[in-house]
Amino acid sequence: MSEIKKVVLAYSGGLDTSVIVRWLQDTYQCEVVTFTADIGQGEEVEPARAKAEALGVKEIYIEDLREEFVRDFVFPMFRANTIYEGEYLLGTSIARPLIAKRLIEIANETGADAISHGATGKGNDQVRFELGAYALKPGVKVIAPWREWDLTSREKLMQYCEERNIPVDFSNKKKKSPYSMDANLLHISYEGGVLEEPWAEAEEDMWRWSVSPEQAPDQATYIELTYEKGDIVAINGERMSPATVLETLNKLGGENGIGRLDIVENRFVGMKSRGCYETPGGTIMLRAHRAIESITLDREVAHLKDELMPRYAKLIYNGFWWSEERKMLQQMIDFSQRHVNGEVRLKLYKGNVILVGRRSSNSLFDESIATFEDDAGSYNQKDAEGFIKLNALRMRIAASKGRKLID
């Protein structure tokens, strides 16, 4: 008899997680609670209810988490200008800690002994889900079917469904995308298929959210973003909620061919993986945030943020959102944003995010000092001589002692 009486499953309603529901019931003889989150994946989540009911699930959670996702996860990440390995905007990575949080909360609410997910044993998501779960509930049992069962192919999964009368729409199997895709309000990712060959160009009909730069309008789109404490609160003067901000920027960016990315990244588990991503809104946000910071942040604060950012990005990518060190870094980042207020004006044109203006009542840009015209004594150019000599002192001493830099 299994010691697991009840398990909470992160349930999408698709083939894999539908199989997992029945597999958990058969293997562990336990009750399954399903949790389906709407984080902006662009598909209806309510049909998951009927599918779960058909599998005998009694406790079904379907929740709209879009605002929480952007407000409490995406926006804090973008305050740090976060980017992994110079390119990846962490669209999948940042969604996992929210799902892990709700899995644990639902486990506590329902008295479940365990949680379960559909991540494979090759990927990063298993790490992200489980690190989050253990951080929030140290003694929780985690069941990862892909690390236990022998259903190692789509064909075996389909056969399992047929044998056990699992309600899956087999008529759509020929229409299924050849790619493994993950979508939320920040991005959509593509892996597998022809993308497993790093030399092969991604097929044009793969992309879902954006037109190609070649097909984007010949007329540029101008937008103005309003910032308060590092977060966008309005677009073109219209105040919006966090989720609406990102939805709007995704639409504007996608229409202008912005946000496509093709990278080979280093997974936490050790392998390299080639993936393509569409992150139109996030691409705009990153460019704009750096622009507003350029006039509102102290130089050394800005430079320190840039030094810390790769570490912060790595923590998110590797699944350590709920760690003490990420929380510590977040407090530093959020403190830096208290004067990051103002407006940024951008031009969106054929895949490009072009900065055309920035302004802030908290700006540190002083035109009277920076001007190439007469500064009326605001800056004494003679001061530069001593500044340069002091900075050169150690190098002058070394050279005078015979140390040569040129052989």
13 known member of a binding site: yes
Rounded average pLDDT over 281-298: 98
In angstroms, the CA 210 to CA 259 distance is: 8
Longest Cα–Cα distance in the chain: 86
Task: Return the sign of the alpha-carbon dihedral for residues 365, 370, 375, 380.
Answer: positive
State the alpha helices, DSSP H only, in 256-382.
Answer: 280-296, 299-317, 324-336, 367-370
Where residue 210 falls among pLDDT bands split at 50, 70, 90? very high
- For 151-239, strand residue ranges (E) read 180-183, 188-191, 221-228, 231-235, 238-239
**Measured between alpha carbons, how far is residue 46 from residues 12, 13, 49, 182, 294 in Å?**
10, 9, 6, 18, 44
265 is in an annotated binding site: yes
For residue 1, pLDDT over 70 is answered with no
Full set of structural domains in the chain with CATH? 6-66+94-172 (3.40.50.620), 180-297+339-359 (3.90.1260.10)
Residue 25 has pLDDT above 90, yes or no: yes
Using an 8 Å Cβ cutoff, are 319 and 128 in contact? yes
Q: C-alpha angle with apex 88: 85 to 93, nearest 5 degrees? A: 105
Banded pLDDT at 153 (limits 50, 70, 90): confident
The predicted pLDDT at position 169 comes to 63
Model confidence pLDDT, tens digit, residues 319-364: 999 999 999 999 999 999 999 999 999 999 999 999 999 999 999 9
Q: What three-state secondary structure class fits 223?
A: strand
Q: Residue 383: is its pLDDT beyond 80?
A: yes
169 tagged catalytic: no
**205 belongs to the catalytic site:** no
CA distance 75 to 288: 13
Token code pair at residue 188? 């959509």
Overall average pLDDT of the 105-120 stretch: 96
Confidence check: pLDDT of 296 > 50: yes
Active site residue: 49, 72, 180, 262, which one?
A: 180
Confirm or deny that 16 is annotated as ligand binding.
yes
- Cα separation, 17 vs 119, in Å, equals 10
Residue 255's alpha-carbon distances to 209, 212, 259, 308, 370, in angstroms, are 8, 9, 10, 33, 38
Q: Report, as an integer, the average pLDDT of 273-289.
A: 97
Query: CB of 3 within 8 A of CB of 113?
Result: yes
At 170-205, the pLDDT tens digits run 444 445 678 889 999 999 999 999 999 999 999 999
137-165: average pLDDT: 91
Residue 403 is among the residues annotated as catalytic for this protein: no
Catalytic, out of 96, 102, 260, 274: 96
Residue 73 DSSP class: I
Percentage of residues in the chain having pLDDT higher than 90: 84
Is 16 known to be catalytic?
Answer: yes
Is 189 annotated to bind ligand?
Answer: yes
